[in-house]
Structure 1
């Protein structure tokens, strides 16, 4: 099957051609004539876009207005009025493109998995993807400081690379094109009127019609009466979700597409085939292409490379992710999800600093036997686990002579070296710190992941598609076995 989708907008014009699920894109960019300082004046609460004159990080290469994504106090049209952009200024749209707007939820890395699923669905339906708003982790203290849980996609993914791969528009363009009105909903979970009202506040568009009882008429597909999650395989996407409705939201994606319900399932399937030299399916190739085009922003990769160069001297190092903080991950609600998760929680509670050290020493010896000497270790962890990680680091330094760095050290590095970048230090430090840590772990000689952590799973799948051939991905393992 071959299809073509074209979109002309004030900023982007793209031609998308897909054959058997693999996409080739021709991208032409039309620059926004406004300066960054003019853009920043749209929202006085979010002025970091043009105020840090000494900050030389190019974090917004597409010049997206930050208030489209992060200022939750900006309102939509008043008194039911709608505003339509005058396209005569930019030329006419050659056809009426259809859109898919992912409304992401759960934690940051679950949102990334949900976005990748949304892109897969958009490709199958021949729809233009709307660059979504992301949410910070609920434990992020800067949510309270800045009075907003929202963060622009500029800080999560490389938008230039993504929009070279699929047709895309900003949420501001989407609002204008659709007259601030959603006319179709693909529900992956049960959606009540109250929940839809909350989603309306986030995207500042009308979802629920004036007659609330008629909101189900917007559903393109329906969730079963007793189903908490609408699951499907790739072959079902077109029969279930194809519609003539133009402005469609893809509501709360995560684990809907069975092929990618967990990143590690796809990772293990692909790794097994690669080691056996078996060809990948079209679906697996498309998913891997999507993952490759939804990597971290370029400025995040640049900071991670500088950190590794300065403190690891570009030598081999082991990276570890310890996710098991008692106030969040090891909670009664999460640990009772299923037997495997319960076992993970039980093991994590009993796992001591000495167990941690033994595991790293074991893996260091494993690499040395294979001719790779390691002198450095990086440990990523939640902020509440830093005391535990400090004990581990001290034992590794004193007894094993290893140079150990952690999340605390990286945070001090960012605060010291990028203090003129308000968006990084004052507004989104904890969120961007986590993304940079993922890049550091992705670049390690060996990565020890946390079981049942989407953060770890995304690092593992990113390492799988990495073009770095200096290390063997089959060496990767988990911090403990269950």
Structure 2
């Protein structure tokens, strides 16, 4: 127990919780009338487009049945021309991939470093750990609410950090529904930059999917296949690769291919390995043509089933979606009312259910693992509710730190002139003034009884300032209290010690998700995932607010002469 406490004390820091990916910051910084903003979220009823870069690409008439163009007004002086109906006019053909090389005898699969040995006991798991491995025999008896083709499969190769991967997996579930393919939970990856337990320089340390979300909840909603069976089901090879962007063959990305293939007991078809030639990635049986993909970043796909089936048309039994992230616009899930409990418990009519409702259904079907939710509930019952009569608390995610969030403001020219960067840089070193605004926010909501702060150790001056400003009568809880509670529940679980970073970050997310009011960090995928969960559970939007507004108030006090 003491050894775990000493270990954990060294590990709860800024970089354990999440990183800020440029795509998340782009959403916050970009102008609403920018070309990129205009090209997002287009459905089949509109003129679909892929991105500003892709729109400028000359697309072959072999792929697109017409070369007609349409003009899009960007601003008063600029008009951008994009191929008319880029997605809509794609021929509805299947890619059968029946090449001679596919019929050659394949080599034996590579030696596998299995996450799950035959006895279904993970390395380090002992009697002192909670039960987390899914009961696949029981899941096989389930009748999911959304039944998909049991003979076609889809799984993703995930990219970036844990919260980006969670978003990418949810996008894959959405695509699986649209393409009528059974979903296969993939191996996820530990945070290469922030997890001190990860081998230095490695981007491909696999963590099993049942530590990232509740597979039983997913299998209740949608047809789900055991990832340990996929190698046999697919003949040890994927027949199709669905590309999300052009550039995906860097060294770290190749390492993730290898790690995922090992997890699934699969490999490339001999002679068809991923390679790079003349700065271009080459992968046999991959679709679509690069001309349909943006020159930089991921493709932003419409939500239309008809369009998606044309874009990723394939007869291949097993398909791998390569590095999806921000391809399906899950921010749409924040639009409109949440799905009712009665609707969730019924099989949906996919022909009439809105895409936003489907997204919210997917979010509800991919909660954090049950054992982590149980730890969070125990912490609320035995710690928070012992200090707060009604258990209503404010959760604050604070993450505007140098070297991570501010990296983009301090290093990248396109963000330097952003008002958001300006306000953070001007106020971040004023912890007492920031604390005063947080306390004012808290005091204006008399139903709140205490605060849980999810923040790195380097934010200790802010935490101390909040405690000083709010007084001793208001309970202030931080990560160490949650960590101690977790360790007291499972003091002999070696796996939790070895994988502390993944477990604790998810656990803090659950605490924030269950709060009465959540003050979230702008541009954070960690916060954004919580916001989506809360909205999907029908928690009023006024209970989830961006804390950036508090920094603007601080700057106004620093510079009252500014408008």
**TM-score normalised by L of structure 2:** 0.63
- Structure 1 segment 81-120 matched on structure 2, within 5 A: 97-120=151-174
What is the aligned counterpart of 1:391 among 464, 482, 492? 464
Cα gap change, 1:356 to 1:149, in 2 (>3 Å): farther
| C-alpha distance after superposition, 1:39-77 (max 9, x if no partner) | 96559995223xx2233x22223369xxxxxxxxxxxxx
Cα gap change, 1:60 to 1:96, in 2 (>3 Å): closer
Cα distance in 2, alignment partners of residues 324 and 208 from structure 1? 46
Cα distance in 2, alignment partners of residues 232 and 334 from structure 1? 31
Aligned residues: 392
Cα gap change, 1:343 to 1:316, in 2 (>3 Å): same
Cα distance in 1, alignment partners of residues 120 and 214 from structure 2? 26
| C-alpha distance after superposition, 1:276-319 (max 9, x if no partner) | xxxx9611111110011011111111111111112221521110
Asked whether 1:128 is paired with 2:199, we answer no
Asked whether 1:347 is paired with 2:427, we answer no
Q: Which residue of 1 aligns with 2:333?
A: 266
Output the aligned Cα RMSD: 3.3
Stretch of structure 1 that moved more, 199-208 or 101-110? 199-208
Q: Which residue of 1 aligns with 2:107?
A: none
| C-alpha distance after superposition, 1:312-339 (max 9, x if no partner) | 2152111000122323222148863854
Task: Indicate conservation of the 8 Å contact 1:135/1:149, yes or no.
Answer: yes
Unaligned runs of 5+ in 2: 1-114, 138-148, 276-280, 341-351, 553-563
- How many Å apart are 1:448 and its aligned residue? 0.2
Structure number with greater CO (CA < 8 Å, separation at least 6) is 2
Q: Which residue of 2 aligns with 1:323?
A: 399
- How many Å apart are 1:443 and its aligned residue? 1.3
Unaligned runs of 5+ in 1: 1-38, 65-94, 275-279
Q: Which residue of 1 aligns with 2:495?
A: 423
Task: Indicate conservation of the 8 Å contact 1:102/1:250, yes or no.
Answer: yes
| C-alpha distance after superposition, 1:344-383 (max 9, x if no partner) | 3443342332233223222223212xxx2x221000123x
- How many Å apart are 1:473 and its aligned residue? 3.8
Task: Indicate conservation of the 8 Å contact 2:432/2:466, yes or no.
Answer: no
Cα gap change, 1:144 to 1:63, in 2 (>3 Å): farther
Cα distance in 2, alignment partners of residues 304 and 341 from structure 1? 40
What is the aligned counterpart of 2:131 among 58, 66, 73? 58
Asked whether 1:170 is paired with 2:226, we answer yes
- How many Å apart are 1:458 and its aligned residue? 1.0
Q: Which residue of 2 aligns with 1:180?
A: 236
**TM-score normalised by L of structure 1:** 0.73
Cα gap change, 1:211 to 1:107, in 2 (>3 Å): closer
- Structure 1 segment 14-413 matched on structure 2, within 5 A: 42=118, 46-49=122-125, 52-55=126-129, 57-62=130-135, 97-137=151-191, 138-144=193-199, 149-191=205-247, 197-204=254-261, 205-207=266-268, 209-211=270-272, 215-223=282-290, 224=293, 226-235=295-304, 236-257=307-328, 259-260=329-330, 263=331, 266-267=333-334, 269-270=335-336, 282-313=354-385, 314-332=390-408, 336=412, 338-339=414-415, 342-349=418-425, 350-351=427-428, 352-368=430-446, 372=447, 374-382=448-456, 384-396=457-469, 399=471, 401-413=473-485
Cα distance in 2, alignment partners of residues 418 and 183 from structure 1? 43
Cα distance in 1, alignment partners of residues 432 and 339 from structure 2? 36
- How many Å apart are 1:153 and its aligned residue? 1.2
- How many Å apart are 1:272 and its aligned residue? 11
Cα distance in 2, alignment partners of residues 187 and 427 from structure 1? 34
Cα distance in 1, alignment partners of residues 116 and 234 from structure 2? 24
Asked whether 1:476 is paired with 2:533, we answer no
Cα distance in 1, alignment partners of residues 207 and 418 from structure 2? 32
Give the secondary-structure state (helix, strand or coil) at the position aligned to 2:405: coil
- How many Å apart are 1:219 and its aligned residue? 1.4
| C-alpha distance after superposition, 1:205-243 (max 9, x if no partner) | 323650557954411213336243222101221111121
| C-alpha distance after superposition, 1:92-126 (max 9, x if no partner) | xxx87111111111121111111111001000100
Cα gap change, 1:130 to 1:402, in 2 (>3 Å): same
Give the secondary-structure state (helix, strand or coil) at the position aligned to 2:406: coil
Cα gap change, 1:193 to 1:431, in 2 (>3 Å): closer
User: Larger Rg: 1 or 2?
Assistant: 2
Cα gap change, 1:217 to 1:429, in 2 (>3 Å): closer
Write 1 or 2 for the structure with the bigger share of helix.
1
